[in-house]
Amino acid sequence: MMLFKIAVRNILRNGRRSLMTASAIAVGSIALVLFGEYNDFAFLGIQTQTVVGSGHLSVFQKGSFEFGSGNPAGYSISHYRSVMKLIQEDPVLKPMLNVVTPTVSLFGIAGNFSMDASRTFFGSGYIPSDRDKMRHWDEYNLRPRDYVYSPLGVSDSDINHGVVGAGMARILGLCGPLKVPNCPPMPKATETVDRSAPAASVDLTELAARDRSPVETAPNETAPRLDLLSATATGSPNVVTFYVNGTQNQAVKELDDAFVGMHLALAQELLYGRGEHKAVSIVIQLHHTADLGLARDRLNALFAEHKLPLEVRDFTELNAAYVQIRNFLSVMFAFLSVIMGVIVVFTVVNTMSMSVMERTNEIGTVRAMGVRRSGIRRQFVVEGFMLGIIGTTAGLILATLLAAWFNQAHIMYTPPGQSHPVPMRLFVGDYALLVKVWIGLVLISTIGSLVPANRAAKMKVVDALRHV
C-alpha cells in the first residue's frame, strides 16, 4: 500500500507532465474503443443483412454447391416438402428454427418484346410470406424502432407478379411504367433490324401459350409484362409470363442489371415445366446465430440417419464478402491497436525517463538507506501502472459518452452490400471490448515503465548522491 501512496505523490509532483501522459493514454483508449464499437456494429450489421437475405443455413443436393450454378435443375432437391417436414418436426431443431423455406435459383432470358429488348437474368424464386418473415429478423436490435420495411413486391396470392432490379428495368425500357427515379432514357438503336424476319416475340409467345396450363387465363393487367425464357431439366425451352410490380436496387451493378425476384411457384414452373416441381435449396433461419454450429451438426446427423444425399452450408460459405469484410476490419483494428500501443509506450518511457533524471539524488539517498534495486524498480513500475490506470479509465468513460452522443446524431451512410443509407451507430455495451482495452493499455503502460525503472535500479549509489 505504501508503494501506491508514494506513486500517487510522485505522479502529482509534476502534474502537467503526468496529465499529458495520461491524456495520451486516454486518447489511445478512446480511439480503440470507438473503432472497436464501430467494428462490432459493422460485423453484426453485415451478419444481419446476410442472414435476412439468405438465412443461417442452406440445404442443397450433394454437389450443388460446387456444380449447381451451371445446372440448377439437375442438382435440385426432390420431395423437398418431406425434407422440410423432417427438419421442422425434429425435437432438437424445432426450438431453434425461425423460418424454413424452399428457394429456386435459375438463369434465362427476359424479354420486353414490345420494345425489342431482352437481357439474360438471374432469377430467385421464394415464398413471399416466408421471405417477409425473414426480413424482420433483428437479433441484435440494430434497426431503429421506427424502421419502415420497403415493400417486398411479391405476394403469396399472385404467382405471376414480382420485381426486377433497377438496372434490369432500365435495360428493358421499364423505367417509365415503373417510375424508376434517375433513370436515363433509352438511346435509339443504331443497328438495322430486318423486319422481314420472324419476330422473336411471336416465337416466345407461342411457346408461352403452348406451355400454359388450360385453366390459366390471361389476366387484365396494367403492370409491365416480361416473357421469361429458360431451359427445363430435360433441356427443352420453357417460357412464362411475368408481370413486374416494381424494382429493388441490388447494390451491385452486375446483379442489379440481371435480378428477377418471383414467386416460388412461377420459378418452379419455368425451371421444371411439367415435371416434378423441386427446390434448388432449403433456407433455414434460426432465432439465434449462436445455435448455428449445433443446428448444422444436427442437420448432418439427421440426413445421415435417413440416408438423404443432402449437404448443409452456412451463410459464411455462401457469402464470401461477409468473411472478407470481417477480416479486413479485424486487420484494421489490429493495426490501430499496434499504433496506439507504440504511442503509449513511447509516451510512458519519455515521462518516466524524465522522472528518473529529476529524482537521481532521491534514488541515491534511498539506496544508501538500504533499499534494494528491486525496490527502486518496483517503485517506478507502480507509477507507470498508476498512470495507465488513470489514463485508460478516463478514456473509457469519455469514449462511452462520445459513443452515446454519436448514436444520437443520426449520421447516415451506405454500408457494403446495401443500396440505401442506414443510420451509422456504435455498438455500445460491448463490455468484453472495454475490458480488453483497459487491460491492454494498462499492461502496455506498465511494460513501458520497465525501461526507465531498470535504468534507475542500476544507478550506482555514489554517482547518484553526487549528481547535480
pLDDT tens digits, residue range 247-277?
Answer: 988 878 888 999 999 999 999 999 998 888 9
Q: What is the pLDDT of residue 215?
A: 39
- The answer as to whether 110 is a domain residue is yes
pLDDT at position 110, please? 93
454 and 353 together in one domain: yes
Give a yes or no: residue 318 inside a domain. no
What digits encode the pLDDT tens for the residues 361-383? Answer: 877 887 788 778 888 888 888 88
Residue 459 falls inside a structural domain: yes
Cα–Cα distance, 22 to 387 (Å, whole number)? 6
Q: Are 147 and 230 in contact (CB under 8 A)?
A: no
pLDDT at site 210: 54
Identity of the amino acid at 2: M
| Domain extent for 138 | 63-308
Instruction: Report percent pLDDT > 70 for the chain.
Output: 91
- The residue with cell 436515363 is 184
Answer yes or no: do 80 and 189 share one domain. yes
**Do residue 42 and residue 73 come from a single domain?**
no
Mark which of 254, 283, 308 sits at the end of a domain: 308
Q: What is the pLDDT of residue 190?
A: 53
* 52: in domain: no
Report how far residue 56's alpha carbon sits from residue 141's, in angstroms, rounded to the nearest whole number: 17
Q: Please report the pLDDT score of residue 200 as a whole number.
A: 45
Q: What is the pLDDT of residues 191-229, one digit of tens each?
A: 554 555 454 444 555 555 555 444 344 555 688 999 999
**With 80 as the cut, is the pLDDT of residue 39 above it?**
yes
CA angle, 240 as apex, 234 and 245 as ends, to 5°?
Answer: 140
Question: Is pLDDT of 11 > 50?
Answer: yes
Within 13 Å of residue 40, how many CA atoms lie on the same side as its CB? 20
Q: Let me know whether 198 and 336 are in one domain.
A: no
Same domain? For 258 and 144 the reply is yes
Inside any domain, residue 127 = yes
Is 298 a domain residue?
A: yes
* Residue 55 counted as domain residue: no
Mean pLDDT of the chain: 86
Q: Are residues 404 and 455 in the same domain?
A: yes
Among candidate residues 278, 308, 338, the one where a domain is terminated:
308
Q: Which pLDDT score, from 0 to 100, does residue 194 have?
A: 54
Q: Which residue has the cell 447494390?
A: 251
What pLDDT is stored for residue 201 in this prediction?
46
* Cell numbers standing for residue 238: 420453357
Q: How big is the CA angle at 129 (ends 124 and 132), to the nearest 5 degrees?
A: 80
pLDDT at 443 over 80: yes
State pTM to two decimals: 0.82
The single residue listed with the C-alpha cell 440417419 is 305
Task: Write the pLDDT tens digit of every residue in 276-285.
Answer: 899 999 999 9
Mean pLDDT of 73-91: 92
Residue 54 lies in a domain: no
Overall number of domains in the chain = 2
